[in-house]
Amino acid sequence: MIQDNNALNQNFIENKKISHRGRKKTLEGIVVSNKMNKTINVLVERRFIDPLYKKVVKKYKKFMAHDEKNEANIGDFVRIIETRPLSKNKNFKLDKILKREITK
């Protein structure tokens, strides 16, 4: 029943070949500010049911995201993806612009 150490080590090495770092968090929201260079502010809405009152509640949070090409404008619906810390408040980068704001 007891396996030898070499078999256990080989089994461990074979299982470690596949990297499981987890998925990066993706969020979708509306750009509310693009006045900073290569940075956008994205407003993300979160909906959940209140445990006490059983009503749908909306919560909002703003995230700073890196926009390398300065392509996002105010009102655009964008997807941001988690990345390494780029500054004190910036831990996301722009992944894709899902819907452009129609300008007059």
pTM, to two decimals: 0.74
DSSP, collapsed to helix, strand or coil, labels residue 7 as helix
Higher pLDDT, 89 or 20: 89
What dotted CATH number matches 23-99? 2.40.50.140
Q: What is the DSSP string of 33-85?
A: E--STTEEEEEEEEEEE-TTT--EEEEEEEEEEE-TT----TT-EEEEEE-S-
pLDDT single digits (tens) 62-98: 999 999 999 999 999 999 999 999 999 999 999 999 9
Domain definitions of the chain by residue range: 23-99
